[in-house]
Amino acid sequence: MRWGKFVPKTGSLNISYLSSPESYLKLESGMHHAILDNVVKGYMAGTYTIPDQNIAIKESWNTDNSITTSMIVKDRFMPGLTLKGDYKQWVHSKKSNMEFSAKYANDFIAADARLHCSLSSMKSELSAVWKIDNWLLGCQLGIDLPTMNMTNTNIMLVNERMKLASSAVWNSEQPGSTFSVGMECKLTPETTVQTKVATNNEFSFTITQQLSSALKLGVYSKFKFSNFLDSQQQIGFGISYEQPHSCCRKE
């Protein structure tokens, strides 16, 4: 007689801090603790905004000893267009990569183009979302430039009123495709439930509780079934804190 396999995995604890966004210098830090693996990861970052120039410079450090320098430019002559350049370097290994991106958004469309460069690869990603009445139609295309293979390609259709989404994903380098359907429901103004089921035998379930104007508690679970008696389960929880903007604080 064969017994089913049950593999519980305790999740993680996330703590983050964000300073007041009204100042020219914004500081943020975060910590991620994987309880089962007993691994702690964290980061610190500072962003300085140049007044009247719509330019921001961000420097961040991660516990994997990587340093990332970013420059963000919002075009003053074309509202809605944001340009960004990232340079990331690992101190010990001296490895580095660069990423350039351009984003554009208005009331009807949002588009994003990215170019990722490193010594071993060069990839690009194109994505866009259109608003049609109460529906949002999105598509994403990834291209490995040396081989011109399509990767991470998906199409998504979302209904704003029903909070119902569907997605189709395929990769030209690997056979098969994945189709998924997700739904979000607000049980109360403070409690949100999200579910997702996919054709790769995965089912996920999330509950988020708004404890205060700045504090959220989340419980996350994911199940993967290869057959009726053989399943894997992951369960985790997280706590997030975001300092409320001054415009949203109650007097």
pLDDT digits (tens, 9 = 90+) for 176-225: 677 787 888 778 888 888 888 887 778 888 888 888 877 888 887 777 76
Band of the pLDDT at 244, cuts 50, 70, 90?
A: low
Q: Select, from the ranges 29-43, 117-131, 145-159, 226-240, the one with the highest average predicted confidence (pLDDT).
A: 117-131
Q: What is the mean pLDDT of residues 163-179?
A: 65
Clarify whether residues 89 and 27 are in a common domain.
yes
At 24-73, the pLDDT tens digits run 888 888 887 766 667 778 889 999 998 788 899 999 999 888 999 999 99
Higher-confidence residue of 131 and 250: namely: 131
Percent of the chain with pLDDT over 90: 19
Q: Are residues 153 and 224 in the same domain?
A: no
Look at residue 32 and tell me if it is in a domain: yes
Within a domain: residue 122?
yes
- C-alpha dist (Å) from residue 62 to 17, 43, 86, 93, 127: 15, 4, 15, 14, 28
Question: What is the rounded average pLDDT of the residues 158-162?
Answer: 63
| 74 and 143 assigned to the same domain | no
Distances, alpha carbon 116 to alpha carbons 8, 81, 93, 247, in Å: 36, 19, 19, 37
Indicate if the pLDDT at residue 240 is higher than 90: no
Residue 9 inside a domain? The answer is: no
Which residue range is the domain that position 90 belongs to? Answer: 16-96
Contact by Cβ (8 Å): 47, 22? no
More confident residue, 246 or 7: 246
The total number of structural domains in the chain stands at 3
In a domain, 2, yes or no: no
Domain match, 87 and 124 both: no
DSSP assignment of 189-202: SSEEEEEEEETTTE
Each residue's pLDDT tens digit, 106-117: 888 999 999 988
The answer to whether residues 67 and 126 belong to one domain is no
Predicted TM-score (pTM) of the model is: 0.59
- 189 and 157, same structural domain? no
Query: Two tokens at 170?
Result: 């395929």
* First-to-last C-alpha distance (Å) of the chain: 66
Whether 200 is in a domain gets the answer yes
> How much is the pLDDT for 5?
39
Last residue of a domain, one of 49, 71, 96: 96
What is the structure's pLDDT at 66?
A: 92
Give me the count of residues in the chain: 251
Q: Which residue has the higher pLDDT, 127 or 228?
A: 127
Q: Are residues 82 and 152 in the same domain?
A: no
Same domain for 111 and 71:
no
More confident position, 96 or 218? 96
Question: What residues contact residue 135 under an 8 Å CB cut-off, 6+ apart?
Answer: 157, 158, 159, 160
57 residue type, one letter: I
Residue 23, pLDDT > 80, answer no
Neighbours of 154 (CB within 10 A): 19
pLDDT number for residue 58? 94
Which DSSP state fits 245? P
In a domain, 137, yes or no: yes
Question: Do the domain assignments include residue 136?
Answer: yes
List the structure tokens of 155.
């199409």
Q: Does the pLDDT value for residue 161 go beyond 90?
A: no
Mean pLDDT in residue range 89-96: 87
The confidence band for 103, taking pLDDT boundaries of 50, 70 and 90, is very high
Q: Which two tokens stand for residue 215?
A: 């504090």
Paired strand residues for 180: 167, 198
213 and 146 housed in the same domain: no
Rounded to a whole number of angstroms, the CA Rg of the chain reads 21
Query: How far, in Å, CA of 142 to CA of 172, rounded?
Result: 10
